[in-house]
Amino acid sequence: QVQLVQSGAEVRKPGASVKVSCKASGYTFTNYYMHWVRQAPGQGLEWMGIIIPSGGSTTYTQKLQGRLTMTKDTSTSTVYMELSSLRSEDTAVYYCARDNGGYNDYWGQGTLVTVSS
Amino acid sequence: QSVLTQPPSVSGAPGQRVTISCTGSSSNIGAGYDVHWYQQLPGKAPKLLIYGNSNRPSGVPDRFSGSKSGTSASLAISGLQAEDEADYYCQSYDSSLSGRVFGGGTKLTVL
């Protein structure tokens, strides 16, 4: 069965960086794009960007351009999301979610990133 | 301010029918892009509920239905059950933003 398993919670100070992993299993990794979506405490879902695992191409939301980097490791079927220059507003649960033609059919369990001095 | 507008909350008694609207514009829903719906139970990851405007993934009860018209879409839930209490989000694509967009979410309370 399809599974997306994310790395554990992180705490960072303002200005630092964080890298979250998402390991996929149960399907051919390179056949499906992967998205990252975040959710601040008590808030709605915010789309961050997409990575194409087969080639590594990425598209990011303009709001996070310059601070967001998505990468992949095909050998381990893992995608990574790295966010730099962290601010308190980046405190959120970060989800990876598989794309299936315009929508996300499988989601990771979420990773809480807390930015606090 | 979300690109797709949803009511913050809706409520209904068990057995009743409720609808949740999702209003967009000519650069997203009105441009012909599909609308998808997700259910998020408290403390859980979102779960796909409706895809391609009106299609249900395997395992989603037929009490849930979706529709789209013009620049808006709707999610209908009939025969409300206590377990339906959750947050619901619509999602589409926006050509002016060149990316996915979500509605602000609607909290469903089963009275």
Torsion of CA B58, B60, B62, B64, to 10 degrees: -130
The residue-averaged pLDDT of A1-22 equals 98
Q: Is the pLDDT of residue B1 over 90?
A: no
In 3D space, the residue among A109, A99, A40, A101 whose CA is nearest the CA of residue A70 turns out to be A99
Q: Above 90 in pLDDT, residue A5?
A: yes
B52 contacts A102? CB cut-off 8 A: yes
| Stretch 42-101 of chain B: residues touching chain A, C-beta under 8 Å | 45-48, 51-52, 57, 89, 91, 93, 97-101
How many beta carbons lie within 10 A of that of residue A21, not counting itself? 19
Q: What is the pLDDT of residues B56-91, one digit of tens each?
A: 999 999 999 999 999 999 999 999 999 999 999 999
CB atoms within 10 A of CB A73: 13
- pLDDT higher than 90, residue A70: yes
Residue A26 is predicted with a pLDDT of 97
Residue A31 is predicted with a pLDDT of 95
Mutate to test the interface with B, among A5, A33, A35, A45 (most CBs of B within 10 A): A45
* CA–CA dist B68, B62 (Å, integer): 17
Query: Which residues in chain A have their CB less than 8 angstroms from residue B33's CB?
Result: 102
Establish if A41 touches chain B: CB-CB under 8 angstroms: no
pLDDT 10s digits, B41-59: 999 999 999 999 999 999 9
Q: Is residue A25 over pLDDT 90?
A: yes
pLDDT, chain A, mean: 97
Q: What is the mean pLDDT of residues A74-98?
A: 97
Provide the 10 A C-beta neighbour count for residue A85.
11
Q: Can you tell me the mean pLDDT for A48-52?
A: 97
Give the distance from residue A37's alpha carbon to the nearest chain B alpha carbon, in angstroms.
10
Considering chain B, what is the average pLDDT of its residues?
A: 97
- Model pLDDT for residues A27-39, shown as the tens digit of each residue: 999 999 999 999 9
Which of B36, B98, B103 shows the shortest C-beta gap to A103?
B36
Contact A64, A82 (CB under 8 A): no
CB contact under 8 A, B99 and A47: yes
pLDDT at A85 over 90: yes
Tokens of A81: 């999301």
- List of chain A residues whose C-beta atoms are within 8 Å of the C-beta of residue B91: 45, 103-104
Alpha-carbon distance A13 to nearest alpha carbon in chain B (angstroms): 25
> Chain A window 44-63: which residues touch B at a Cβ cutoff of 8 Å?
44-47, 49-50, 59, 61-62
Share above pLDDT 70 across residues of chain A, in percent, rounded to a whole number: 100
Instruction: Tell me the average pLDDT across B4-17.
Output: 97
